[in-house]
Amino acid sequence: MTEWEKARAGLLYNANHDALLLEERAICKDLCFQYNRCRPSADGEQRRLLKKLLGEMGDRVVITPPFWCDYGKNIFIGHDFYANHNCIILDGAPVTFGDFVFIGPNCCFSTAGHPLDAGLRDEGLEFAHPISIGSHVWIGANVTVLPGITIGNGAVIGAGSVVTRDVPENVIAAGNPCRVLREITDADRQRYKQI
């Protein structure tokens, strides 16, 4: 089994000494570098680079530079997606975003984790577990989402949260560790009614 196959299976793998993984990350980092150097007005060039970088992306996807990821091809983005400055996606495993997802600045989505045993870490071993973000999700500034997390449709994650466990649909969750504060209700919809 290759190191890439181990990663895809959620097993411990060595990302630091495998020639294929090192090459894949180098290609990805070069594409991120090119993307981050684009003029803000160069929408067409940004979209071309994102299409080359990401596994899949829908219509009306905006990622405000700088943006960094490990492989790119494990990132799957739906329609009407916005990520603000300094988004980091460590995609050793798939990271999936639904439609109408809005991400504040300085957010990190990390599928990568390391063994608690120092000996295994010293060998360069790590694991990668998928992250899934539903549709109609708002993630505030400075949020970190850890390996294996699912955030349900319609959820709001408060700024500064560290998401260590799954978040159900249609709730407000916040904190370190992130926890559900309450459900989103019709009163929340009424609060922002326009005259």
Q: How far apart are CA 91 and CA 102, in angstroms?
A: 19
- For the chain, the C-alpha Rg in angstroms (whole number) is 17
The Cα–Cα gap between 180 and 75 comes to: 26
Which letter does DSSP use for residue 99 in this model? Answer: S
Residues 65 and 147: their CA atoms lie apart, in Å, by 23
114 is catalytic: yes
Q: Which residue has the tokens 């998928």?
A: 130
- Marked catalytic residue, from 79, 114, 129, 136: 114
Catalytic residues: 114
